[in-house]
Structure 1
């Protein structure tokens, strides 16, 4: 069947009262235009509303992509950072909305970065910049960004990503561990929730597919230590010295 027909059917299904997932007309038009089959091997199943797995990563279902982009609330000419490029499909839809030169994406997996670049070029979006990075560190060379989309779950938004937002910027991420909710956070800290989601955790170096050592807690430990150090005031800063100075007699 003609891929254009399959795309139209996919979007119509997402807009239908049964699913009622897609309400934003601009996102709907973009999803009708992006050839999703260029990002997956099976042309027909590419347009089914289900997940796929490619190179050890989960490819989001179209309905999930629609939810993410609507929460992002994109505006014309916004600069966007996507953390977790995957196969590149979300980046392509974003490029339709804001222009490919405004879209930057990173992924910690080198094979995925290469795969996404090839897919985006094949689909006609080679202007999207894709780099291999630890997503928790963002992409400071191109910051600040009007919008940042984190396609991985985290209990707290990485500090670097919040710092790389513009003054009226918006960060969208799945927040939580076992139970997650899609959340948008403004540069000033205001939060909006959009419902339950289920994503894999944000990975750091050593955790990507094929890595020898996997240590997911390293970044979380650093974040918690930093926050605790910032929160201490007065005598709390010196409690160890106080305790050691007490005469055990």
Structure 2
């Protein structure tokens, strides 16, 4: 199967005037560049069908859903972006095409999902994107503020920590609600609720699947984030207090 042709067909359908899910620039062009099959195990050409997949106990969003989220987020080149709910890394890869991989920061509360996202992003050519294991409701304060924050999980309200980490003039997009969810956009003008959506709830520490975190793996994640922080921000900034 020629994957480039499959990608073009996928994006053509999203850009078509009858659907109008994404604009060609920048979201459509970015989705044409990202090898989605690298993020959906054993899917081959089916990775380019407009459907969800399940992987590592998490939902791999359909291309139209990703496109809808990114259109609302409206990222621009050079924006510092936080993705809460990294999943397998596909959305982060599309964002990396738009803003640059070094500007993408993603978190997920489930360790095996974080490992999968890191591997997928590296294999697809986006190793510069940082993925860390932590409670997404607390954001990623070491790299704040963020010009754009995308939350791929639902909550009743926007977590205070995420509001606090949004840069002046920035934009946050996330699903709000429980049974009836709406895609909300938060910016300097306030909160605007848009289309109806259906997302899994935002998990906080202690609610994730799997075994408790071991001290060694917790330390490894901290060291991983620390190395990226030093590489991106330089040694002139204050040392991070990880404790």
TM-score, with normalisation over the residues of structure 2? 0.84
Match of 1:82 in 2: 83
Superposed CA offset, 1:138-192 (max 9, x none): 0000000000000000110000000001111111000111011111101x36122
- Alignment: residue pair count: 211
Preserved CA contact (<8 Å) 1:88 1:120: yes
Match of 2:65 in 1: 64
Structure 2 residue ranges without an equivalent (≥5):
213-243
1:210 and 1:189 map into 2 onto residues whose CA distance is: 40
Superposed CA offset, 1:38-86 (max 9, x none): 0012111100000000011111000000011110011120000000000
Which residues in structure 2 correspond to 1:1-249 (within 5 Å)? 1-41=1-41, 42-186=43-187, 188=188, 190-210=190-210
Preserved CA contact (<8 Å) 2:86 2:106: yes
1:152 and 1:24 map into 2 onto residues whose CA distance is: 26
2:194 and 2:89 map into 1 onto residues whose CA distance is: 23
Larger Rg: 1
1:44 match: secondary structure: helix
Structure 1 residue ranges without an equivalent (≥5):
213-249
1:40 and 1:190 map into 2 onto residues whose CA distance is: 36
2:24 and 2:12 map into 1 onto residues whose CA distance is: 12
Q: CA 1:189–1:206 in structure 2 vs 1: closer, same or farther (change >3 Å)?
A: farther
Match of 2:237 in 1: none
Q: CA deviation at 1:211?
A: 5.3
1:84 and 1:90 map into 2 onto residues whose CA distance is: 10
Question: Please, what is the CA RMSD of the aligned residues?
Answer: 1.2
2:54 and 2:211 map into 1 onto residues whose CA distance is: 18
Preserved CA contact (<8 Å) 2:15 2:24: no
Preserved CA contact (<8 Å) 1:24 1:70: no
